[in-house]
Amino acid sequence: MANGPVLVVDFGAQYAQLIARRVREAGVYSELVPHSMPVDEILAKDPKAIILSGGPASVFEPGAPTIDTKVFESGVPVLGICYGFQVMAYELGGKVDKAALGEYGKTSATIDDAAGILADSPAEQTTWMSHGVAVEQAPAGFEVLAHTEGAPVAAMADESRKLYGVQWHPEVKHSPLGQKLIENFLHRCAALPNDWDASSIIEDQVKKIREQVGDAEVICGLSGGVDSAVAAALVHKAIGDQLTCVFVDQGLLRKNEGDEVEAVFGPDGDYDLNFIRVNAQDRFYEKLAGVEEPEKKRKIIGEEFIRVFEQEAKKVGAVDFLVQGTIYPDVVESGLGGESAVIKSHHNVGGLPDFVDFKEIIEPLRDLFKDEVRKAGLELGIPEKLVFRQPFPGPGLGIRIIGEVTADKVRIVQDADFIYRSEVDKAVAEYKKANGKAPAWMPNQYFAALTNMRSVGVMGDERTYDYAVALRAVNTIDFMTAESAEIPFEVLQTVMSRIINEVRGVNRVFYDLTSKPPGTIEFE
Ligand code: XMP
């Protein structure tokens, strides 16, 4: 790789992944490495620059994570952020101490020298801080570039050694000039060109997959989701019809979704590959009969999926490689890529392959963030409609139906969800047309779920005793926290009346106001 990687050394920061993202946004390829990786190993990766992330420790506490000072003598430009900045200052002989005044949140920084990482900065910058330890004195050879009330040295540089440090978090949007600081470091200080984007990875991966696979056979499980679709399209670009895609329709997909996936990847679609669609709806419904507990449902659906996939894989014969749509956040969240805590063991990482003898797994999207995956998907010719799908849980509608799952309940939730999504999309499009921008209430995820509640209603002159549908819509950036979206009442009313009129078996519609936490985004 001519350009990069820039390695982000993760000291356990909440934001380490975000730093890698911001670097990529600046057109430079970036990856995370744990701070426990020996410096020789880090340098062997031939990094074009290194960024030391923040972290929760205090540098002067015994056992606090640090980095071998060799890294500062390597000639590779280094930027320390927050804790990483303190590590740099401490290890190089600066004075680091408990801050007389800790700073948390929005903080004004005074720029003493608008040069290097702070080139073109105004005299004051709003920054976002989170520190109770401060660098009181920069190490010898460093110039102080900025200070704040609580941080006598808030930014520093030693141009001759290409070492830079900053106390605030340039990677978060609350530091409005943060991206500029990162770009200054990459483009000015480290002289790296802005020439990487997600599509660069396609050619690299195609080459790699061809070398890895040779003329062997490859199998891929398509879920209808974005990641597996893009992974399949990428592998197809590399090896054409050596690829077999197995698409299991478990009867828990969104309305028309099975056919939409088939239209793209099936025999009449855009790719010349072996496509096997397994219509396993009845099998799944049978297994789910009488089961009410959500975790149990998840388990049954997951296991049954593996069983169906296994059967199909066996029919295909000897298959050496399995494609998985693992993406970068899955790798990091599973604690494999960095130092941050294991947040969840992800279904995409190491999920499927225990059951059949595959020689190797191919994970062509392992280095990409979600929006980069989408970009690569468009580049690979996958229709926008598929690429910009909303997140959809692996167990599908099985967990958007409270209580027992039956074919009839699946029909209800599919139809209600279809109406809801169409009406929201329509209202958003109309707003955009009239105002030239998206409405503030535009949800990041919205779907209908089926409660397990039936109640009395009246339709025409008849008494009804039918189900209540719940509508969910949330505004969220990272899907870790979320607020209920303020969809205009008239849109909700239209949805309500269409669902009750058009979907047999429903006589009430609720709107879910719960934020996350305490709720979750899914309604299971
Ligand atoms: P929750 O419900 O945990 O969801 O607030 C957060 C986000 O993750 C999606 N989600 C899943 N995605 N498999 C997935 O691939 C799952 O089992 C799963 N459960 C939740 C959810 O749609 C939301 O975007």
Q: Whose CA is nearest to atom 19 of ligand 1?
A: 393
In tens, the pLDDT along 56-115 reads: 999 999 999 999 999 999 999 999 999 999 999 999 999 999 999 999 999 999 999 999
CB 445 near ligand 1, within 6 Å: yes
Residue 336 clears pLDDT 90, i.e. is over it: no
Closest ligand 1 atom number to CA of residue 395: 17
pLDDT at 346: 36
Between CA 219 and CA 188 the distance in angstroms is 45
Stated as kind and residue range, the H or E segment containing 430 is helix 407-435
Higher pLDDT, 361 or 412: 412
349 pLDDT band (50/70/90 cuts)?
very low
Eight-class DSSP state of 32: E
CB 520 near ligand 1, within 6 Å: yes
Q: Which segment, 176-185, 326-335, 366-375, 386-395, is predicted with the most confidence on average?
A: 176-185
One-character DSSP codes across 49-110: EEEE---SS-TTSTT-----THHHHSSS-EEEETHHHHHHHHHTT-EEEEEEEEEEEEEEEE
Q: H helices then E strands: how many in the chain?
A: 15, 18
Residue 445: other Cβ atoms inside 10 A: 17
Between CA 128 and CA 76 the distance in angstroms is 27
Higher pLDDT, 490 or 315: 490
Six token digits for residue 138: 């920069």
* 424-432 own/partner pairs: CB under 8 Å, 24+ apart: 424/473, 424/487, 424/491, 424/495, 427/487, 427/488, 427/491
Residue 384: other Cβ atoms inside 10 A: 10
Eight-class DSSP state of 254: P
Q: Are strands 218-222 and 163-166 parallel, antiparallel or unpaired?
A: unpaired
Six token digits for residue 227: 């990641």
Residue 7 C-alpha to ligand 1 middle, in angstroms?
29
Closest ligand 1 atom number to CA of residue 522: 2
CB 524 near ligand 1, within 6 Å: no
Residue 64: other Cβ atoms inside 10 A: 16
Between CA 287 and CA 406 the distance in angstroms is 10
In tens, the pLDDT along 107-140 reads: 999 999 999 999 999 999 999 999 999 999 999 9
Query: Annotated catalytic, 147?
Result: no
pTM reported for the whole predicted model:
0.77
Query: Annotated catalytic, 245?
Result: no
398 pLDDT band (50/70/90 cuts)?
very high
